[in-house]
Structure 1
């Protein structure tokens, strides 16, 4: 058992008489909901403002070449997932985004790790950005197309919300491999 687990206990850990202990907040640690509630709106606003700008300035125009054809700005409306996969399943992707948001909200109650707060904030901000498009963009009713506008050569066109989701996901994988849990405890398998 690691020092963090000895200090905070692990869920369902039995005490000396075999009864399960309640696990409280890690001693001396604060909840990191404030970090999550800073990162998520920042990621969401960057995504939203960038989409409003590119729709106003770039939609219905030729792609803007930043690095020749290797990197362009080109507005597309994506009703599917990455690489426009599953365009007929827009409502499914909308439901998945709602589920992700609910799971993050539930995890936030036990959030004592700054890296996890950043990762979940990125996921939440990106998911909210794309969900906003699906709800409010044409044709609406949870079936709108997500505005994608960053177009690298030979890759999917994406947006800043997608970038936030990917960065948050990669950070979660790294944290998991390092054994850091959202509650701030460290475990070794």
Structure 2
């Protein structure tokens, strides 16, 4: 059954309110779980790795070492922690605003991981030493020839890959294809883009 403008009345459409609500709840659940995993692993690292030598997980390929990073990725910009804090706040707000248009499960995964990663490291920057908004991020995962990182960093990187893939596929956050002539029509059907 279709409405006058061609929109299906079926609730299975990714653009229908119940489907969008389910997709947004998926986004929120992914963000909450990944954020909790990040915070938990950081607390475990603080409790069990402080003052210890590297802990081997898989020989020399994967080790755990507690580190505190005042900068961004690869310890870049260590004197500008407040800038990264501000950018993280803006990024979290942008993700939350964009999430209101979610109509794709893949985008929900990407944006959920991005929000978890950004807010995970933002929590460190706001609440950890040496002072609020200048806090150092807790890192603990070490690979050969790679900077030490954490779960939040992994979430951000996986999210970036998902977002780039979705963009190359021409799929919008709302689940519609970029070339879809009805893509800007709020009442038009959303194409399934999972």
TM-score w.r.t. length of structure 2: 0.81
Residue of 80, 102, 112 corresponding to 1:89:
80
Across the two proteins, how many residue pairs are aligned to each other?
168
Task: Note if 1:45 corresponds to 2:30.
Answer: no
Residue of 43, 47, 60 corresponding to 1:69:
60
Q: Distance between the aligned counterparts of 1:104 and 1:128, measured in 2?
A: 11
- TM-superposed CA distance for 1:26, in Å, is 3.0
Structure 2: which 5+ runs fail to align? Answer: 8-13, 181-194
SS class of match (1:110): coil
Q: Distance between the aligned counterparts of 2:170 and 2:152, measured in 1?
A: 27
Q: Distance between the aligned counterparts of 1:26 and 1:37, measured in 2?
A: 18
Residue of 114, 117, 124 corresponding to 1:126:
117
Q: CA distance change for structure 1 residues 158 and 7 in 2, over 3 Å: closer, same or farther?
A: farther
Structure 1: which 5+ runs fail to align? Answer: 1-5, 9-24
Q: Distance between the aligned counterparts of 2:163 and 2:59, measured in 1?
A: 34
SS class of match (1:102): helix
Question: Which residue of structure 2 aligns with residue 21 of structure 1?
Answer: none
Question: Do the aligned residues in 2 keep the contact of 1:40 with 1:121 (CA within 8 Å)?
Answer: yes
- Partner deviation per Cα, 1:123-174 (whole Å, 9 max, x = no partner): 0011111011111111121001000000101001100010001001100000
Runs of 4+ in 1 over 4 A off after TM superposition: none
Question: Which residue of structure 2 aligns with residue 160 of structure 1?
Answer: 151
SS class of match (1:61): coil
Question: Which residue of structure 1 aligns with residue 184 of structure 2?
Answer: none
- TM-superposed CA distance for 1:27, in Å, is 5.0
- Partner deviation per Cα, 1:3-35 (whole Å, 9 max, x = no partner): xxx967xxxxxxxxxxxxxxxx83587212101
